[in-house]
Amino acid sequence: MKFSKTQWRKVYKQKRKALSAEERKALSQKIFVQLAQSDWVEKAQNIHIFISVEKLGEVSTQKFIQLLWAKGKSVFIPKVEGESLITCEYTPETLMEMSRWGILEPKSPKIVSEKEIDLVITPLLICDRKGTRVGYGGGFYDGLFAKCKPDILKIGVNYFSPINEIITTYESDVPLDYLVTPEDIFEF
């Protein structure tokens, strides 16, 4: 099938919604076991990761973030500011609040330069075999990637394997380097 990003977004929101909370929890665990054992995480010190939103059925990141802290990694999370994301330090002491979008964000963020980041773990609905990701349609992560070092490692985490092709892409789309699913790691 050749669908536009909008069509794929609709399909994979439904597929994700069809997974039970228990299935999502088990699949998330498998994803992060693979990621925790990767050289990428071992070599990276400054890791940018999203705070998962349960109501959206996103891959759960909470336990993985705790593991990163236990390994002595510096963890950074996004915060929406206007039409873009800023990068904020995230520690166990960070006070959080719910944004108007229902996303937990730092209440008094300590903002850092995206150039400090070694690795970005990004949410997505689906991607294709070239690493072109379909997110929620705001282009927030493409904008974040553009502010990072040119060689920033971009890793998507998803319950689903890549599809063959996304037919509508934009010049601003930044492809992933890797996708980690419960069963596989895909390199693009």
Q: Extract the annotated binding site for substrate.
A: 51, 58
List beta partners, residue 186.
179
Coil, strand or helix at 168:
coil
Burial class (CB in 10 A: 0-12, 13-18, 19+), 156: buried
- Measured CA to CA in angstroms, residue 10 lies from 135, 137, 173 at distances of 11, 11, 19
**Which residues, 6 or more positions from 25, have their beta carbon under 8 angstroms from its beta carbon?**
60
| Bind-site residues | 5-9, 51, 58, 133-141
Task: Single out the residue of 44, 124, 43, 102 nearest to residue 76, CA to CA.
Answer: 44
**C-alpha torsion angle, residues 176, 180, 184, 186 (rounded to 10):** 10
Q: Which residues does the annotation place in the binding site for ATP?
A: 5-9, 133-141
Residue 25 CA to its chain's centroid (Å): 16
